[in-house]
């Protein structure tokens, strides 16, 4: 069974701190790993990673994938209260023409002022 595990499940930090969120996976047919930010409702897309060792960066957020060790990390530097959200990791594991995503449970990040 395809599995995505995120850690920690919950994290509370102060503004300005740097955080690292972890995602490990076991899937039979890996295509890509995606990070989403979920605030009130729909997950919003952050990054898609397909190759090992190449860092994707967007402002204070960055992410990298290790396909040998089957994990990814999402880093957020100089956190702000607006970064408070649930961060979801998902793996694209296509099967039979479908591009199904397998989600982890998410990491709930709370950034206090």
Partner 1 sequence: EPEVTQTPSHQVTQMGQEVILRCVPISNHLYFYWYRQILGQKVEFLVSFYNNEISEKSEIFDDQFSVERPDGSNFTLKIRSTKLEDSAMYFCASSEETGPGYTFGSGTRLTVV
Least separation in angstroms between residue 13's CB and partner 1 is 21
Per-residue binding string, partner 1, 28-67, x by CB under 8 A, is ----x-x-x----xxxxx--x-------------------
In whole angstroms, what is the distance from residue 12 CA to residue 22 CA?
Answer: 15
Site residue total, partner 1 (CB under 8 A):
24
Contacting residue, 16, 99, 110, 112, with partner 1 by CB under 8 A: 99
Question: Which C-beta is closer to partner 1: that of 15 or that of 99?
Answer: 99
Q: What would the DSSP string read from start to end of the chain?
A: --EEEEE-SEEEEETT--EEEEEEEE-SS--EEEEEEESSSSEEEEEEE-STTPPEEETTEEEEEETTTTEEEEEE-S--GGG-EEEEEEEE--BTTB--EEE---EEEEEE-
Question: Which C-beta is closer to partner 1: that of 34 or that of 85?
Answer: 34
Name the residues that contact partner 1, by CB under 8 A: 32, 34, 36, 41-45, 48, 88, 90, 92, 95-106
């Amino acid at each position: 069974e395809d599995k995505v595990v995120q850690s920690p499940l919950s994290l509370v930090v102060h503004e300005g701190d740097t955080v690292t969120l972890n995602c490990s996976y076991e899937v039979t047919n890996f295509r890509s790993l995606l990070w989403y930010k979920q605030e009130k409702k729909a997950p919003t897309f952050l990054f898609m990673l397909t190759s090992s060792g190449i860092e994707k960066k967007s402002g204070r957020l960055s992410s990298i994938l290790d396909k040998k060790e089957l994990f990814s990390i999402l880093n957020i530097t100089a956190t702000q209260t607006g970064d408070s959200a649930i961060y979801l990791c998902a793996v694209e594991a296509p099967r039979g023409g479908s591009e199904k995503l397998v989600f982890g449970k998410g990491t709930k990040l709370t950034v206090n002022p």
